[in-house]
Amino acid sequence: MSISVMVIVACQQIPKTVSVDVEAEKAAIAVLFDKFIAAYDAGDAAALVTFLTEDGLFCGTDPSEFMNKQEIKNLFAQLFADTVPEINYIGERVIRVAADGNSATVVLQYIMPLISPKIPLRDVYKVVKTDDKWMIDFFSTSFIPKNEDIPKLNKAIE
């Protein structure tokens, strides 16, 4: 019995450890977001959605805004109808790559004066690697008021 256990244990394949170059993946994701932001700055809704997965989920600031790729394309086309709304980024872009190198979280923070000149917004993205190409599979946009401003906001919406 002992010999059988030793043979079975010895014959099992050891899983291969995949080494992920996190910095290289971060750089590739940064390129994706540079192109995504350039498409926004150009007011190109069709180009923007080329960075999104087909079955992604995209959330706006309103609790009812759960959108698919086509709805996001329509939203951007409507947003860009007259002009491209200004975005003023706050802080650095944050990119955190998963240990397996197949997904990452990206965070951008900014002021969009068209929506609110005083309350910042935060976009949180989930990107996935599909066929060795990074794509945006999820994003959610949220207002991020400073903690000390929350009582004022609560009072204002009473």
pLDDT bin (cut points 50, 70, 90) of residue 144 is very high
If pLDDT is split at 50, 70 and 90, which confidence band does 141 have?
Answer: very high
When pLDDT is averaged across residues 16-29 and rounded to a whole number, the result is 87
Span 112-130, mean pLDDT?
96
Output the DSSP codes for 52-112. EEEEEEEE-SSTT-EE-HHHHHHHHHHHTTT-PPP-EEEEEEEEEE-TTSSEEEEEEEEEE
pLDDT digits (tens, 9 = 90+) for 56-109: 999 999 999 999 999 999 999 999 999 999 999 999 999 999 999 999 999 999
The position carrying tokens 């809704």 is: 45
pLDDT band at 152 (very low <50, low <70, confident <90, very high): very high
